[in-house]
C-alpha cells in the first residue's frame, strides 16, 4: 500500500491493515506527515477517522478540503463544539461505531493516553484499537511526541504491539528546515532502514533532500 508520501513510499510498501507508530520530538513533522497520508487516502476515495488529542479538531478539519469521507473526533476539549467534528468520549467506546468502511484510523497523539492511564490500561487500549482496526482491514497510525522520560518509558514498553515504527527527527547538523525520517521496523516487509531527509517547499509540500546536496552547519 502506498502512503502517498515519497520519503516513505521510496523505501517501503506498507501492508494493508498495518498498525504504525510514528515517533519524534515536537516540531519533527509527525502531525504534518499523518495529515499528508490521510489526504492521500481521501484523494483515493477512502474514508478516514482522525482522533485529535493534541490539536484543536476544528483546526484539524480545516486543514483538509471538505470531504464527506473524513471524520474528525474531538478528544481535545469538551469546550470545542462544532458540527464539523464529532464529540469524542473514550476511544474504545467511540471507535467501533465510527470505523465501518474506514480505511485509515489516525490517533494524534498517544501522549495523553500515556499520562492519564497506567501501563496495563494503555497496553489493553492499544491492543483493542489495533484489534478493531485490523478486523475492519483499516490501517492504524498513531503518533507520539518523544522527550518525556516518564512517558517515553511507557512507549518503549508498548512499541512491540505495532507492526511498524517510523522515526522522525530534526537534524541538528543540517539547515533548520531539514528533517529526517527512517523506518525503524516493519513486520512482513523488506525495507531500507537508513535515515532519509526532507524539507518543505513554498507550498508546504514535503520534498526529498538527497544527502549529497546537504551542507552541514559550520
Q: Is the pTM of this model over 0.85?
A: yes
Q: What is the DSSP string of 68-91?
A: TTEEEEE-S-TT---TTSEEPS-H
Report residue 94 as a C-alpha cell: 467511540
pLDDT level of residue 218 (50, 70, 90 thresholds): very low
Beta strands 86-87 and 19-24 are unpaired
Domains of the chain: 6-170 (3.40.50.300)
In the numeric block, the cell 507492526 is attached to 163
pLDDT, tens only, 146-199:
999 889 999 999 999 999 999 998 766 555 578 889 999 999 888 878 888 888
**Does the pLDDT value for residue 55 go beyond 70?**
yes
Amino acid at each position: 500500500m502506498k502512503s502517498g508520501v515519497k520519503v516513505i513510499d521510496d523505501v517501503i510498501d506498507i501492508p494493508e491493515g498495518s498498525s504504525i507508530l510514528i515517533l519524534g520530538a515536537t516540531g519533527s513533522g509527525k502531525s504534518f506527515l499523518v495529515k499528508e497520508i490521510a489526504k492521500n487516502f481521501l484523494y483515493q476515495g477512502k474514508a478516514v477517522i482522525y482522533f485529535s488529542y493534541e490539536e484543536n479538531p476544528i483546526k484539524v478539519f480545516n486543514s483538509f478540503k471538505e470531504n464527506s469521507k473524513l471524520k474528525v473526533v474531538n478528544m481535545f476539549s469538551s469546550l470545542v463544539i462544532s458540527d464539523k467534528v464529532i464529540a469524542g468520549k473514550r476511544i474504545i467506546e467511540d471507535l467501533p461505531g465510527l470505523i465501518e468502511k474506514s480505511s485509515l484510523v489516525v490517533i494524534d497523539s498517544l501522549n495523553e493516553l500515556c499520562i492519564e492511564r497506567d501501563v496495563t490500561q494503555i497496553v489493553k487500549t492499544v491492543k483493542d484499537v489495533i484489534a478493531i482496526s485490523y478486523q475492519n482491514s483499516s490501517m492504524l497510525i498513531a503518533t507520539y511526541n518523544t522527550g518525556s522520560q516518564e512517558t517515553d518509558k511507557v512507549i518503549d514498553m508498548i512499541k512491540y504491539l505495532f507492526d511498524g515504527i517510523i522515526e522522525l527527527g530534526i537534524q541538528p547538523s543540517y539547515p533548520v528546515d531539514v528533517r529526517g525520517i527512517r523506518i525503524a521496523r516493519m513486520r512482513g516487509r523488506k525495507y531500507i532502514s537508513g535515515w532519509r531527509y526532507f524539507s518543505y517547499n513554498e507550498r508546504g509540500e514535503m520534498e526529498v533532500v538527497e544527502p549529497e546536496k546537504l551542507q552541514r552547519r559550520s
